[in-house]
Structure 1
Amino acid sequence: MFISSAIAATAEHAAEAGHHGPFYTQAEFWVGAAFVLVVALAFRKVFAAITAGLDARASQIKGRIDEAAKLREDAQALLAEYQRKQRDALQEAEAIVAHAKHEAARLKTEAEAAMEASIVRREKQAVERIAQAEAQAMAEVRNLAVDMAIAAANKMIAEKLAPDAQDLLIEDSIRGLSGKLH
């Protein structure tokens, strides 16, 4: 369009100037044609540079978009992995709590059984100690009674027996001891 309007303007200009003859013989035509050619060549180089710059920018933008898409995919994969790890950690925590509750119940049962056994054992020990104390008290009472009976018998014998009878009783007791000691 631009070229055709430049040519038309050159032709009109030549007609107005009073030049006759073919348009391509006129200097103005060649100046206009050279101008159009220079502008077209310059426009082509400028257009190529602009196009190359836009293509490079589009390539950079596409690279950034691809990188952003890759980063987004990586972030989604990482998020999914962390969500899975969180679920696993929650399940593990629930399992630990359940195990701890089970262990606590088991330990409570064992502690109750051990406490019961300890109470029974201590009660048995207390009964045995009481029985031992009773036996010891009975033995002490018996020994005391024997001692008192011997003392009373000695006193009675000393008061009521004659010295000859006492000697005879002592000799009898000594002979009786020799049979009991063997």
Structure 2
Amino acid sequence: MRPLIFLAIFWPTLALAQEIKPGPITPDAWDDYARAAELFNAGKRVQAGCVMYRGQFRARLLLLANPGQAPDGGPALFASLNETVARPINQWLGGDRDDWIAAMQCARNWAAENDDPDYPRRRYGAIYADILAGLDELIAAIPSRRELRAQRRASGLPNR
């Protein structure tokens, strides 16, 4: 049996992560959120999660690279998009642990391999490293399938 086929059969999270890609870079982080909403509404929900998490990565990069922004500018837009776009995507992704991890890993892989056009790694490397570390911690903190399902049931959220 070929190694990739073996992994695809016996490690579904890896197989799913291999299939999803965030697609072409959008002009800025905020456009990633718009693209994520379009993908989610089109039923491409795991890919939407990847694009949304890429948008979160890029937005955090933008905000950390420009700490003096007025609170009613970028920080307010970030909070609003996380509430209106990211929340429904996260609620759906949380219904299946493998999908959730695959979406985050897809965005994490993009961020590790690519530069945001406006904030290149050579200049903002420490910020990249901090955000990637935070994403790694978030992925590691996802509870086991059984715990996640119990938490969602207790909160009245569906499991898939």
Which band: TM-score by shorter chain?
under 0.3
Normalised TM-score (structure 2): 0.20
- For CA contacts below 8 A with separation 6 or more, give which structure has more relative contact order: 2
Normalised TM-score (structure 1): 0.18
